[in-house]
Amino acid sequence: MYKILVSDPISPDGLKNLTDHSDFNVDIQTDLNETELAEIIPNYEGLIVRSQTQVTSNIIAAAPNLKVIARAGVGVDNIDVEAATKHGVIVINAPDGNTISATEHSMAMILSMARNVPQAHQSLKNGKWDRKAYRGTELYNKTLGVIGAGRIGIGVAKRAQSFGMNILAFDPYLSEDKAKELNVTRATVDEIAEQADFVTVHTPLTPKTRGIVDKAFFEKAKPTLQIINVARGGIIDEDALVEALDTDQIQGAAIDVFESGPATESPLVAHDKIIVTPHLGASTVEAQEKVAVSVANEIIDIFEHGNVVNAINAPKMSFNEINDELKPYIELSKLTGEVGIQLLEKAPRELQIKYKGDIALDDTSLLTRTLVSGVLRQDLAERVNLINALVLLNEQGVSYNIEKDTKHRGFSNYIELTLINKDTQIKIGATVLNGYGPRIVRINEYPVDFKPEKHQLVINHNDRPGIVGHTGQILGEYNINIASMHLGRTNQGGNALMILSIDHPVTQDVIDALYEIEGFNLIRSVELDVAVSENYNI
């Protein structure tokens, strides 16, 4: 029998399929501290948690028999996924179980905010009958800006339409055809800031989305703007939100998630113009049962059939089943996808992938999944893994095509990724050089040769004397050290490309200063995950 430990309160009805199964022995022990959990975890093959249990590297190291950690919820912030991966432990979650609950809570927050329901309730409870102080705003014929048009964002949009609201939607993967089908208008974040009466955010928290609603957003907004966040703390810059409310740049906010929690001491909680709830987006009886059912059924499927659907990390066997010569190209594929997506201005509608040389003879399916994961992870964050990458690519309406050719001049093995959005495209060529590791050797028409690093600047410019020196001077003024520099050009005095590896990420102020250099046409900051797993279970 497989022994499964449940260390947080989980819906008993949701776990019923697992607890009733003859092949599984389920123990429920909650409120364990790290020492207590470490003492008993060696006895179990599976662990089910919610958000209370912290599954640390020490816990995982103490669990030689552990095969699966399941989070009955969406995020996995309380699980050391890297440690689990290194120990060959699959981490799964239930990404869709709270969709309806989060959608409905978003609508509840919008309505409560628009009609001042919490404030009026408390005022009346305090013995006051003050109708004028809590005059509200109708939703009818107002514009709702939806930042993040995934399942929850679209769910909110559909419900808001029933109130007669007009919808502006931003999502890098929202196509024109899909927008027409949903009867929403595609918009940029700036257009939403300028036009929306209400704004709701529903993106994952990634480096691209952190602070996507910031001081500049509020400066563009209507003074009557009301905004909610039932997604992730950090998508809205909390300091900028408080400042915008204090200076009457916007009217109000409703916040369910915070940058850190419990958020009892947060200035957002004390602010008169903000209504707050303690992360209740998924706190319904139905949602908790759905996530429990999801992880229980998947645990059964993993142990009995080896099927994994909602893994955060890749199965250990994926790396061991490929030959040694192909292994270095896994990291190269990931980095190629990450570089390409950050150089394309808009989300791609098509991917063209070419494998040339000896690797074209091998099974490249793992390389393809890794490359696609690198592309998608910029926008979909931890939702993407090697198992679901191609499925999610299809869900975003992005097609892909693979070509193989055993012959290639110049390199024994070569990977080329082209990301296409209508008339815009980015082409990245990459290889692995013996003794030098992953190298990017082509960007569009420019021949280059550089090792992908954590922080990089990619600059399109006119080829002219003095540009390199001026660039170094400006970066020096901002105390940013250049680790390496690579130049590519098609002809003398024409268009050229400069790639800088730098020690620290750059701010917008640095980029603005660089744009003052005569001849600089386009500057892209590229941030890469260059940490290589010991067994490539990523």
The closest of 285, 139, 136, 272 to 200, measured between CA atoms, is 139
Q: What is the mean pLDDT of the chain?
A: 91
How much is the CA Rg of the chain, to the nearest whole Å? 25
- pLDDT attached to residue 262: 86
Burial of 231 (0-12, 13-18, 19+ CB in 10 A): buried
Q: Is domain 98-276 given the CATH code 3.40.50.720 in the classification?
A: yes
- pLDDT attached to residue 261: 76
Q: Which segments of 233-327 does DSSP mark as H helices, in order? A: 238-246, 267-270, 285-305, 317-320
> Which parts of the chain register pLDDT below 50?
315-320, 532-538
- pLDDT attached to residue 509: 93
- pLDDT attached to residue 271: 97
- pLDDT attached to residue 529: 81
Contact 536, 319 (CB under 8 A): yes
Please report, for residues 241, 244, 322, the alpha-carbon distance to residue 271 in angstroms, rounded to integers and kept in the order given: 11, 12, 56
Interatomic CA distance for residues 102 and 153, integer angstroms: 10
- The reply to whether 98-276 shares the fold of 2-97+286-305 is yes
Domain 2-97+286-305: homologous superfamily in CATH: NAD(P)-binding Rossmann-like Domain (3.40.50.720)
Residue 94, SS3 per DSSP: coil
- pLDDT attached to residue 491: 83
**Regarding the domain delimited by 453-537, which CATH topology (the fold level of the hierarchy) does it fall under?**
Alpha-Beta Plaits (3.30.70)
Contact 440, 336 (CB under 8 A): yes
Architecture of domain 324-444: 2-Layer Sandwich (3.30)
List the structure tokens of 277: 């709830």
Question: Any idea where the domains of the chain sit in the sequence?
Answer: 2-97+286-305, 98-276, 324-444, 453-537
- pLDDT attached to residue 322: 57
